[in-house]
Structure 1
Amino acid sequence: MHKLRIVGISGNVKAPSRTSALVASVLRRIESELGLPGRHIDLAVSAPALFRALRADQLDEEGAEIVRTVESADVLIVGSPVYRASYSGAFKHLFDLVHYEALIGKPVILAATGGTPLHGLMIDHQLRPLFSFFKALPLPTSVYALESEFDSYAVASSDIQKRIRAAVRELELILPHAKTLALSRAEEQSRLTA
């Protein structure tokens, strides 16, 4: 069986970014607790390659590789700053390019950053419906962090660290399911190429 592919996506469009730091913190926790390293796609860096195309069939190789990485992930950690009551346009554009069947059954940890506690509603009103459309499995515990919970773009709040640990524990519980899906996909792929 292949090693599970963990992919973090930061929907920020500037660097440094609290959102990027939050997604990186979740990835580090998954690696330290579950022994699963991940790849971090930071849209502050990657978005220009995606914006060169309006549709998936227009992507150049750099943009197509980003989309393939997302589509082939076994687990996603997705985060966006709250921007105008939703996720960023760069985040939306990335998922407009992802095939609508590519994320079926994949666990997703949802995260966001914002300026007030009320902005945290974006996770349940925007992110959860997006990943429900994809038939992914958003985990029950999401991670929302205020600007005041960071120190020099590093998570400084023990409450946020507790939420990250809770989300990673939920991921650990669902991973046997994810491993089964990954094995099924690998077997199907080898049958197709045989």
Structure 2
Amino acid sequence: MTRPLRLVGVSGGLHPTSKAAALTKRLLELIADQVHVEQHLIELGRLTPQFASAVSRSQLPDAVEAALTAVERADVLVVATPVYRGSYTGLFKHFFDFVHQDALIDKPVLLAATGGSERHALMIDHQLRPLFSFFQARTLPIGVYATDKDFENGRLQDRAVIQHAALAVQRALPFLEFTPPNVSGNRPLDDLACVHASAA
């Protein structure tokens, strides 16, 4: 039996009610509806106090190291960040600065972002794609952007955005058939204490 894909979401939201986290969860659910996955969510807001002042990976506590390992071992990534001043948050970038530069080669990455208005919608193509192109990741064809008005009670509710998210996942499916090899010797994802699992 083929093992499930390791699907890891990373939310750059800094607050417990982060819309970026809500969008990430929705995208993870949509993928899990189509593909057999082992699904995990990393919320950077929960880890911020543990890595914000670190300048090297050797300084990071076990919880942050476990999150980085989960990202590096994932078969598929979903990443979402709030937009501030036209770009991703500094802490989102700081977290990915610790990811090994070769760890994401050929890894499919679905990009998403949230912002206060449509003004920031192009941030996905102008900021996130170049970042993951540096890692030589396979950024998936359609990104998903949502504004504050698209959410209600902490969940994505706007029909047009939901349909766009579903289309993004459908267009991503052919790319998910390819999974990069995992580095041997790493711990199973089940042992990564800091990664918040969500039901598949």
Q: Calculate the TM-score normalised by the size of structure 1.
A: 0.89
**Aligned equivalent of 1:127:** 128
In the aligned structure 2, how far is the partner of 1:133 from the partner of 1:146?
Answer: 27
Within 5 Å, give how 1:45-60 maps onto structure 2. Answer: 45-60=46-61
**Aligned equivalent of 2:106:** 105
**Aligned equivalent of 2:7:** 6
Aligned partner of residue 19 in structure 1, secondary structure? helix
Can you give the 5+ residue segments of structure 1 that lack an aligned partner in the other structure? none
In the aligned structure 2, how far is the partner of 1:175 from the partner of 1:149?
Answer: 27
Aligned partner of residue 77 in structure 1, secondary structure? strand
Aligned partner of residue 174 in structure 1, secondary structure? helix
In the aligned structure 1, how far is the partner of 2:129 from the partner of 2:89?
Answer: 15
- Kept after mapping to 2: 8 A contact 1:149/1:155: yes
- Kept after mapping to 1: 8 A contact 2:4/2:38: no
Alpha-carbon displacement from aligned partner over 1:35-61 (angstroms, at most 9, x marks no partner): 324100011112222225211122121
In the aligned structure 1, how far is the partner of 2:47 from the partner of 2:59?
Answer: 16
Determine whether 1:150 maps to 2:159.
no
Aligned partner of residue 37 in structure 2, secondary structure? coil
**Aligned equivalent of 1:90:** 91
Corresponding letter in the other structure for 1:170 = R
- Kept after mapping to 2: 8 A contact 1:30/1:37: no
Shift of 1:2: 4.1
Q: Calculate the TM-score normalised by the size of structure 2.
A: 0.87
Larger relative contact order, structure 1 or 2 (CA cutoff 8 Å, min sep 6) = 2
Can you give the 5+ residue segments of structure 2 that lack an aligned partner in the other structure? 186-200
In the aligned structure 2, how far is the partner of 1:96 from the partner of 1:162?
Answer: 33
Between structures 1 and 2, the one with greater helix share = 1
Determine whether 1:21 maps to 2:29.
no
Percent identity (aligned): 41
In the aligned structure 2, how far is the partner of 1:161 from the partner of 1:107?
Answer: 21
Q: How many residues align?
A: 184
- Kept after mapping to 1: 8 A contact 2:141/2:172: no
User: Do the aligned partners of residues 100 and 75 (structure 1) sit closer, same or farther apart at CA in structure 2, a change above 3 Å counting?
Assistant: same
In the aligned structure 2, how far is the partner of 1:50 from the partner of 1:131?
Answer: 21
Please provide the CA RMSD for this pair.
Answer: 1.5
**Aligned equivalent of 2:190:** none
Return structure 1 stretches of 4+ with deviation > 3 angstroms. none
Shift of 1:73: 0.8
In the aligned structure 2, how far is the partner of 1:36 from the partner of 1:109?
Answer: 15
Shift of 1:170: 2.2
- Kept after mapping to 1: 8 A contact 2:21/2:43: yes
In the aligned structure 2, how far is the partner of 1:95 from the partner of 1:15?
Answer: 21
Alpha-carbon displacement from aligned partner over 1:25-83 (angstroms, at most 9, x marks no partner): 00111112223241000111122222252111221212211111111111110000001
